[in-house]
Amino acid sequence: DADVTQTPRNRITKTGKRIMLECSQTKGHDRMYWYRQDPGLGLRLIYYSFDVKDINKGEISDGYSVSRQAQAKFSLSLESAIPNQTALYFCATSDFRDRANEQYFGPGTRLTVT
């Protein structure tokens, strides 16, 4: 079984709809991240959480919100989806003890907003 799972894997939604992307991990890591990937722009950090009570904005948090329901679960919400939020979304985890901050990524969710 995969260590980091994301649901759904693909989603098409309409402008203005609320949508939630979910991430679960079995690695026992305390740190979790949400990234967005657009063609030619690499991965950009949306939000990150260092433990259940810690939530931090990344470089592109506007239009997104997150919830850390448990150590193993971190969800990303788009309150009112817009077409320029069409992208590939990745969840990642890391161990606070790892100075190199190696991150383990999920398989991604491809989101299309029409």
Residue 45 or 72: the one with the smaller Cβ distance to another protein is: 45
Q: Which residues contact 18 (CB under 8 A, 6 or more apart)?
A: 77, 78, 79, 80, 81
Residue whose tokens read 């817009």: 82
**Using rule CB under 8 A, residue 43 touches another protein:** yes
Rg of the chain on CA atoms, in Å:
13
Name which of residues 15 to 34 contact another protein (CB under 8 A): 33
Q: Which of 11, 20, 30, 45 binds another protein (CB under 8 A)?
A: 45
**Using rule CB under 8 A, residue 47 touches another protein:** no
**Using rule CB under 8 A, residue 52 touches another protein:** no
Part in contact with another protein (CB under 8 A); list of ranges 15-23, 38-46, 62-70, 74-82: 38-46
Report the relative pairing of strands 10-13 and 109-113 from DSSP bridges.
Answer: parallel
**Using rule CB under 8 A, residue 108 touches another protein:** yes
Q: How far is the CB of 38 from another protein (least distance, A)?
A: 10
Say if residue 83 is preceded by a cis peptide, omega within 30 of 0: no
C-alpha to C-alpha distances, 30 to 8, 37, 52, 108, nearest whole angstrom = 22, 23, 8, 20
Distance of CA 91 to the CA centre of its chain: 4
Q: How far is the CB of 15 from another protein (least distance, A)?
A: 26
Give the footprint of another protein on this chain (CB under 8 A). Answer: 4, 33, 40-45, 48, 58, 90, 92, 96, 98-108
